[in-house]
Structure 1
């Protein structure tokens, strides 16, 4: 067998095999090792469904690629993957569910996924065995269906072999060692012994430039061997197979198969199986298993069935398909399926490691296997994928995460597979967990919390003594009960002053003799002078946006970097690895610290912000310390507010006169109380994240993960003013060579009276899809909906009339000038 390869894939399920296929097809010398047999993990007992439905942009592309790819496998390999293109019918019992499908429709349209909407009568006419009188309609994908997991895995394996990939079964990986240029992977040959798989004395090493782990249920063991953490923990999933249903058998004598049926409100899927039905529920109470490691004796094994746990779902299945009531059960399966807290897999570079790639945590592995292989192979062989894969990056979960957290959140995620997925969805398990000091104060004021990266942060402040019919936790695809309060908060920032807890911001300290030269190359804008700040971007080697930073220059070679709160580990990994590469060339030492948890942040913004601070600032001349002369816009000062030392930064993400007040975390309660007391006479109002999101769109402020990402350059994001083309910086040549594929614009929208865009909607011109929104909301300044998104450059001129698709209708929209509210920044610069 080979002992040296370009890429080693560890794990022979559908996902690992799909990755091996695409790496080999890309021309890399690839080997796959599997500790047992191909498909021996979760692949063998998967139901094989291929749903195109997904609310995420990247995941939708992955699923679409898989469905299209599988249809061509037989022609390429000669092996039938067992793909039954029967379609997929998602039924809706109420309007909220239909609203979800209408929002999904825009996501699907932006990704080119064909779909239809059917009425109850159309459903009944086509599939009379389905009860429809309590439905209001359904979403129908005629182009997907289900596939045989073992067959598609073997077909991909044969295709991989045709491209030169080698497969080694009964090989267990026991260790990984990085030499500085390649991985030494310690392996053991496994043998059958009394029905068990045991280690032999045959031990050997495989050397690989790159390693991909696709170890499925064994992800926790893999993480331990690599010295990292992972939230991938398995959860039980059970499904049952019925005896033949006589009504179905009769129907099939002259009719095609039913589509895969999903009654999302009843929390199950159903498909045909040899004249009977497969019922797969997503019930409450499914437990996480093997939180630390799968036992050595567990192979292609199953757990005992727990029918009582799925009784409600089983009864709703009988209700929906009445002919099934008298049909007996033939088979049952209760096997391990890996989950993550947000339901998305972990795909991308491992934290802190070089040339180590993860493909773990797939709860829909058959659906994602082909697309994951395609896009991960692009990441590995080309440096970037054609879509932004950040939403799947393994580093979206930081080192604060524990095994208990992952297990409980994964159980919740399983239970939430068919829960309505609102764009403002907030899941409650394991909360509160990470809290800033003023958390209790904010809750006492009616704060309704969301979470980002485990941190609790106010979404909005509702009434403490709410009427009986007010639902603080209401979620809606339209304007929920919270909307009026977010609107009042946004108006307060525009008219008086608001305070926002932004403690979740990521914060890094970068210092040392090599820091200045490194950051000058690492980012695309000029570095600020000491005492000043600048907004800048770190680019990928392909010239797209990797991270947005506000850089505060504390000293000549000491910098305070602020970035998005959701991406702390993601940003640290890129920053540290880039600095390590820089230092390896002998250009000077750099010291980097993640100090996110050491500093809290209150953002104070609004016309009265300066007057409020004057009342509590301690200075030799409190009347001038906050003036433009002593404290100009885009600068920082160390000041004292009462007894609290504050690193004050004159900037406001809302586009008003304001400061970010960065304080040592232990002063948080004191400073909150001080500001709230002083703010009483100035109209101070606590403000949540939803109002802030609306306000920043009125200023056309781009947000990382929305407008900014690895699929667009800063120039395409219309951020030319933050790009210094007179200097050399990482990704510059590729950015210039890319040109303008599309342009970021701000749109004012004359939309429906009861809904706002969420940033997932399609943008149309003359009835043709030309782009998509990346952010959306309501503008208090203009009294209508607002959104940001990307369109062809020819349609990016202010005044261009477009349409935005919301709730299946096209609504008038117009491209505005950048920063439609206060375009000259007069309010931000006002003196006093």
Structure 2
């Protein structure tokens, strides 16, 4: 057994074997996989093997699509049949709202080349007469996927890996990880059988590996403890039952009919597929508990939990309703096993927080579907430094250190029972809330704030009158909240509004090496003292890794503000860059000050009037003028008794300021501003109106328009790139050229709906040219608006395109950047 390798993969389920296979295929010839038991002995062995091709996450959909395509090639390569039954996946809908959901699914699927067809109830009944359809609205049919045998596909990938030189060692457990500064030393213990249990022996070895990947499945909490990090991957019980033969189904197949597709009855929280003349029923019910919150017991191997039929009785009766012929079929077998989840249902794939060359592939609730694509894209990240798609939405660092075991367990339970609940794009799930709140939370709640959660923070989405229900207002069209967001957007355009932006991530970079480091780390010119600049930190491949507003407080003292949703993601990248570059530039102090500063954004043509009421200055009338306080500058001011770091910038495109203040003084400042704003008609404004307003200004958002699949030049932001200087990722950025271009579109869409930023774009001839990355409503133009990426030859202002919404193509036109106030006159207005 080798003790020195290029890459060590820990975990021998479908995900781990795929990673080992793809690392070898990508050119690494010194790869080892360790499995503490037998291959597939974790959740792989009891998985139902479904291959739901499509997922509303752009990255996850690409992963699933690669898997489905890849699995079809394995037999030719390895000689092993992976057991792939390409029977299709039929998503049936009992309500129009479910059909609306599927229409959004379909429009997004087209951006990833995922094929589908629509089916009417009559068409379903004609093709599969055993299915009851009289209460259906229709269905979305993905005909290229189906189900697979989890053990077979894992063994096929393992054989393919061995053929490419991968060493697979079973009955070895990774017990400890130590980073030497150059490589990982992994202490491994030989596991042996004893009384039916798997126990550690006295035999140990140390394997030195340049890279380590953990794909430990249900053992993720044990892995986290060994690495000294947090991994919010905790299993939840998942039940499915296998029924005896259904005579009607047996006869249907004997008559020469093709196998039924996997039938997903989302409104009944279940799926059904054929199994040897009978049916398998799998459910995603309420009340399924999280398990192994602190690790899997040594005695638990390829084991199951007792079936809880009472918990799934409702779904069982729904199956009999949907397939009446199965009513007299008995129960043949049952499975209740642990399947890992994360709070948002997407896996954790990418670099581990704070660690070098440690990679995570954990938290797979659809592990069989995701295994092939995860191996492919993670191998790209490890071998080439970046994947061909933006994997940020799956990054392990999307949860910060505030995340606890209790939070992960309860959110994972919620995620499990939300698998088939309507996924409105404006949904906000209630579990574990409120958790992280700014001091003004209670004040805003009393005033009608309807909160969303961003990185654990409660942030107002909009404000509504007493008695309004956010849950009842959600829709795939314009929800009940829409009218309130319109009023808030108009308030900022016409008067003044106040936004709580406390969730921003904030870091201080200082010290003798700060200036040299930031000049190398970011692509724009550094601002002068007292000024600000918008800039980007790039990946080594020249794409956008992080967006920063940099405020230069002193010569070697900088205040960096970035997106609150990406706090830990940004901090980890910044921290690792500082550590790597300190020897080059000199001492650099990096401090996370996110929870020290609260932030209010005040914006609108009357914002100066409100601040003038409370600013303490020798000449209050001129303190906020362009001469004394110009656009894109910062001043330390006093508002009443509150010291404020005021920044003249507004994400809404109006005259405005960000008011960064000591967080312990937030309630005082809120009351002061609210009282001063009364006579000026100041309105509290939430994130949804702000999102619409920033699109009218073509302001790109990180995670939407900005990410690791496009450069700042492709985002059409050359004004924020100083090509006269050297900076990290510059050469790669220029070498990439312009593969696609970010544009703004005004859309003549339906009267009752706006785009969500997930829709496909076509030209006038019906050829696909791009996709939306943001969408919403424009109060300035009285129609829908969106930002997105199109092919460069389709990016000219005035180009007529079409947007897929509600299964129809709607006319859209590319407009000039910042269609609202393109000269920025309103931002610079004097007073």
- Fold shared, TM-score > 0.5 on shorter chain: yes
Aligned to 1:420: 422
CA drift of 1:769 comes to 0.8
CA drift of 1:473 comes to 4.2
Aligned to 2:697: 699
Partners in 2 of 1:771 and 1:128 — Cα distance? 39
Aligned to 1:831: 830
Q: Deviations over 1:426-459 (max 9, x none)?
A: 1000000000011111111111110100000110
1:482 is aligned to 2:478: no
Partners in 2 of 1:339 and 1:280 — Cα distance? 16
Aligned to 1:58: 59
Aligned to 1:684: 682
Q: Deviations over 1:642-697 (max 9, x none)?
A: 11111100000000000000111111111111111110111100000000000000
Aligned to 2:543: 544
Q: Are the equivalent residues in 2 in contact too, given 1:263–1:269 (CA < 8 A)?
A: yes
CA drift of 1:183 comes to 0.4
Aligned to 1:675: 673
Please give the residue correspondences for 1:57-456 in structure 2 after superposition, counting only pairs within 5 Å.
Answer: 57-253=58-254, 254-456=256-458
Q: Deviations over 1:583-628 (max 9, x none)?
A: 133x201111111111110000000000110000011111111111
Aligned to 1:493: 492
| 3-state SS of 1:326 partner | coil
Q: Are the equivalent residues in 1 in contact too, given 2:504–2:564 (CA < 8 A)?
A: yes
| 3-state SS of 1:277 partner | strand
Q: Are the equivalent residues in 1 in contact too, given 2:54–2:65 (CA < 8 A)?
A: no
CA drift of 1:422 comes to 1.3
CA drift of 1:53 comes to 2.2
Partners in 2 of 1:539 and 1:189 — Cα distance? 43
Match of 2:714 among 700, 716, 719: 716
Aligned to 2:7: 7
CA drift of 1:181 comes to 1.0
Q: Are the equivalent residues in 2 in contact too, given 1:232–1:406 (CA < 8 A)?
A: yes
Q: Are the equivalent residues in 1 in contact too, given 2:450–2:470 (CA < 8 A)?
A: no
CA drift of 1:475 comes to 1.2
| 3-state SS of 1:303 partner | coil
Q: Deviations over 1:197-240 (max 9, x none)?
A: 11111100111000000000000000000000011001000110
CA drift of 1:750 comes to 0.4
How many residues in Structure 1 have an aligned counterpart in Structure 2? Answer: 828
| 3-state SS of 1:221 partner | helix
Partners in 2 of 1:279 and 1:781 — Cα distance? 51
Aligned to 1:755: 753
Partners in 2 of 1:205 and 1:256 — Cα distance? 53
Aligned to 2:627: 629
CA drift of 1:539 comes to 0.2
Partners in 1 of 2:138 and 2:653 — Cα distance? 43
1:733 is aligned to 2:747: no
Q: Are the equivalent residues in 2 in contact too, given 1:19–1:373 (CA < 8 A)?
A: yes
Q: Are the equivalent residues in 1 in contact too, given 2:698–2:819 (CA < 8 A)?
A: yes
CA drift of 1:27 comes to 1.5
Q: Are the equivalent residues in 1 in contact too, given 2:246–2:329 (CA < 8 A)?
A: yes
Q: Are the equivalent residues in 2 in contact too, given 1:462–1:472 (CA < 8 A)?
A: no
TM-score (norm 2): 0.99
Aligned to 1:502: 501
Question: What stretches of structure 1 of length at least 5 have no aligned partner?
Answer: none
Partners in 2 of 1:784 and 1:142 — Cα distance? 36
Aligned to 2:42: 41
| 3-state SS of 2:784 partner | strand
Aligned to 1:516: 515
Partners in 2 of 1:614 and 1:298 — Cα distance? 67
Question: What stretches of structure 2 of length at least 5 have no aligned partner?
Answer: none
Aligned to 1:18: 18
| 3-state SS of 2:509 partner | strand
Partners in 1 of 2:399 and 2:34 — Cα distance? 27
Q: Are the equivalent residues in 2 in contact too, given 1:472–1:481 (CA < 8 A)?
A: no
1:652 is aligned to 2:653: no
Q: Are the equivalent residues in 2 in contact too, given 1:745–1:815 (CA < 8 A)?
A: yes
Aligned to 1:811: 810
CA drift of 1:465 comes to 4.8
| 3-state SS of 1:86 partner | coil
CA drift of 1:280 comes to 0.3
Partners in 1 of 2:300 and 2:329 — Cα distance? 32
1:463 is aligned to 2:461: no
| 3-state SS of 2:520 partner | helix
| 3-state SS of 2:87 partner | coil
Partners in 2 of 1:270 and 1:801 — Cα distance? 44
| 3-state SS of 2:268 partner | coil
Partners in 2 of 1:259 and 1:745 — Cα distance? 40
Q: Are the equivalent residues in 2 in contact too, given 1:748–1:785 (CA < 8 A)?
A: yes
Aligned to 2:661: 663
Distance 1:465 1:7, change over 3 A: closer
Partners in 2 of 1:508 and 1:627 — Cα distance? 28
Q: Are the equivalent residues in 2 in contact too, given 1:535–1:549 (CA < 8 A)?
A: yes
CA drift of 1:792 comes to 1.2
Aligned to 1:582: 581
| 3-state SS of 2:559 partner | strand
TM-score (norm 1): 0.99
Q: Are the equivalent residues in 2 in contact too, given 1:472–1:482 (CA < 8 A)?
A: no
Partners in 1 of 2:724 and 2:179 — Cα distance? 38
CA drift of 1:471 comes to 5.5
Partners in 1 of 2:640 and 2:121 — Cα distance? 65
Distance 1:673 1:472, change over 3 A: farther
Calculate the aligned-residue CA RMSD, in Å: 0.7
| 3-state SS of 1:198 partner | strand
Q: Deviations over 1:332-372 (max 9, x none)?
A: 00000000000000000000000000000000000000000
Q: Are the equivalent residues in 1 in contact too, given 2:239–2:307 (CA < 8 A)?
A: yes
Partners in 2 of 1:501 and 1:286 — Cα distance? 36
Q: Deviations over 1:224-282 (max 9, x none)?
A: 00000011001000110001111111111121110001100000001111111110010
Partners in 1 of 2:484 and 2:171 — Cα distance? 60
Partners in 2 of 1:408 and 1:267 — Cα distance? 19
CA drift of 1:193 comes to 1.0
Partners in 2 of 1:226 and 1:540 — Cα distance? 25
Q: Are the equivalent residues in 2 in contact too, given 1:745–1:788 (CA < 8 A)?
A: yes
Partners in 1 of 2:473 and 2:338 — Cα distance? 33
Partners in 2 of 1:179 and 1:480 — Cα distance? 55
| 3-state SS of 2:739 partner | coil
Partners in 1 of 2:589 and 2:184 — Cα distance? 27
| 3-state SS of 2:32 partner | strand
Q: Are the equivalent residues in 2 in contact too, given 1:82–1:148 (CA < 8 A)?
A: yes
Q: Are the equivalent residues in 2 in contact too, given 1:448–1:472 (CA < 8 A)?
A: no
Partners in 1 of 2:66 and 2:197 — Cα distance? 37
Partners in 1 of 2:2 and 2:804 — Cα distance? 54
| 3-state SS of 1:814 partner | strand
Q: Are the equivalent residues in 1 in contact too, given 2:488–2:686 (CA < 8 A)?
A: yes
